[in-house]
Amino acid sequence: VNASGAVGSFTAATAPTVLPVNTPGYSAQKPPTEYSYDAIKAYMEAGFIYVHAGLRGKDSNSQTYSGNAPWGVADLKAAVRYRRYNSAAVPGDAAKVYVFGHSGGGAQSAVAGASGDSELFAPYLAVLGAATTDTSGKALSDAVAGAMCWCPITSLDGANAAYEWNMGQFASSGTRAEGTWTRAYSQDLAAAFPAYLNGLKLTDSQGRPLTLESSSQGTYLSGSYYDHLVAVIQKSLNDFLAATTFPYTPSSTEMAGMEPSGGGGTPSGTPPSDAGGTPPKGGTPGGGGQGSGESITYKTVEEYIAFLNSSSQWVTYDASKKTATITGLQGFVTSQKNASKDVGAFDGVGRTQTENLVMGSGENKQHFSSVSREVISKGQSRYASLSGWNKDYGVAAYEKDLAAKDSVGTDMVTRVAMYDPLYYLTQDSKGRGSSTIAPAWRIRTGITQGDTASTVEVNLALALQQAGAGNVDFATVWGQGHAMAELTGTGEENFIAWVTKQAAS
């Protein structure tokens, strides 16, 4: 190491390390066989140490090799430890390690950021032979300094219920059509979400409890949590209006460059997006969704607001104050965030979703959601009289899978908890206080994505603040879908600027 070397804002002693988590759909990130300098040029010129580690995923299972959760994050933790083990040979400040990823990679970045040094991962690290001490015998840490999470698909135990409360309750076609058992299941999941949410005991920045309450219309569309979520949506719209110059032509930015089964290859520095999601109605304002909807130019802000209100009036614009006000969640979801996944969006009724494999055993998909198990248990006798029901969808399948243990001997409930950052963060969780939480976070999501509920990223930001994470930079980006969403600039530019600022402090 050249002790006097310096690049950008950093020296050989102060340079931060960044690790991409390029795992769309929780797929594997293959170790590179060669490097392309052009792909990582921006990171090198910023003075970063760029470490591209091989990570197991849903597509790397065999008879002797498991890529199911939690192995992907276990591999990431092993890479962090190994980087620190080699501190004498690798330049930079080994304490300043930052992980970054999108979608499944955003989720795993969030887990790594929340679960630093968690004992739950110890048996996995032991099995894979991870470094546990440095050359002097001092214990090595896998805690990171910061996590950049774009559109994290996480908090899987309650994800089915969150999806139906946030979006599904406003839909009436497909698996949510009248007469189907899945519509009844959707309604029951939505009704189960408030108990899950209220059990998290989230608070706002002033320490006030955030809860959902019953409402005269819709399913629990009232309470301080509901008001907070509506305020997040409204702020996203107003941030967009403040940053946008009219005439305005929407365009898709930083969308998927790789299929969910992809991953690996040479490091690109830009985590790819999962496929999935649908564009909001009326084209692709701000690049929302994954479709190639018709591009429309809006000459004035008033014309754009009229577009938002084309189906129903839910946005009011005050031209004198240049601010917009929305009526509530339903208008936004109906116009901009349609449910694009079937009921059972994450733990599928027939174990058909990506996450059923992520939480599976080898190539065998498994149920994993305790929340869904309880809903099915209570409702299956009623569902059996409705269209589309199959006895294989019953609670017995959930009981069997949730009782299963992986090769290390960890049960399903624990595996799901290990992959949920909220397990390490929320007030009454068994995992609170059991890990070293990253002090710096940057979370960005495309607010129109149909891939997951807005509650996922909102709850993560709230829980981090409540748990004492000192620096949480959170924003939802209007008009953007399941992408490396940014209000201005590119994801790469903004991530590099953020790490530069954090590492210098």
Pick the range with the lowest mean pLDDT from 240-254, 310-324, 354-368, 390-404: 240-254
Whether the link from the prior residue into 247 is cis, omega within 30° of 0, is yes
Largest CA distance in the chain: 75
The yes-or-no verdict on residue 504 having pLDDT over 70 is yes
Q: Percentage of the chain surpassing pLDDT 90?
A: 88
| Predicted pLDDT of residue 252 | 54
Strands 17-21 and 323-326: what pairing?
unpaired
* Distances in whole angstroms, Cα of residue 70 to Cα of each of 103, 130, 295, 415, 434: 16, 15, 41, 7, 17
Mean pLDDT, range 429-449, rounded to an integer: 98
pLDDT band at 102 (very low <50, low <70, confident <90, very high): very high
Annotated domain spans of the chain: 6-156+410-504
* Distances in whole angstroms, Cα of residue 452 to Cα of each of 49, 110, 284, 327, 346: 33, 15, 18, 22, 9
Q: Which residue has the tokens 């709850």?
A: 459
Instruction: Enter the tokens of residue 314.
Output: 């839910």
How far, in Å, CA of 32 to CA of 54, rounded?
8
Phi-psi region of 174 (alpha: psi -120 to 50; beta: other; left: phi over 0): left
Instruction: Enter the tokens of residue 168.
Output: 């599904």
Burial class (CB in 10 A: 0-12, 13-18, 19+), 18: buried
Per-residue pLDDT of 18-54, as tens digits, reads 999 999 999 999 999 988 999 999 999 999 999 999 9
CATH superfamily of the 6-156+410-504 domain:
Alpha/Beta hydrolase fold, catalytic domain (3.40.50.1820)
pLDDT band at 391 (very low <50, low <70, confident <90, very high): very high
pTM of the model: 0.93
Alpha helices per DSSP H over 88-173: 104-114, 122-128, 159-166
What does the H/E/C string look like for 349-376? CCCCCHHHHHCCECCECCCCCHHHHHHH
CB atoms within 10 A of CB 395: 17
Residue that wins the pLDDT comparison between 275 and 15: 15
Instruction: Enter the tokens of residue 165.
Output: 């409360």
Show the CA angle centred on residue 209, arms to residues 205 and 211, nearest 5°.
120
Q: Where are the beta strands (DSSP E) in 134-287?
A: 146-150
Mean pLDDT, range 135-163, rounded to an integer: 98
Q: Which residue has the tokens 């990130």?
A: 29
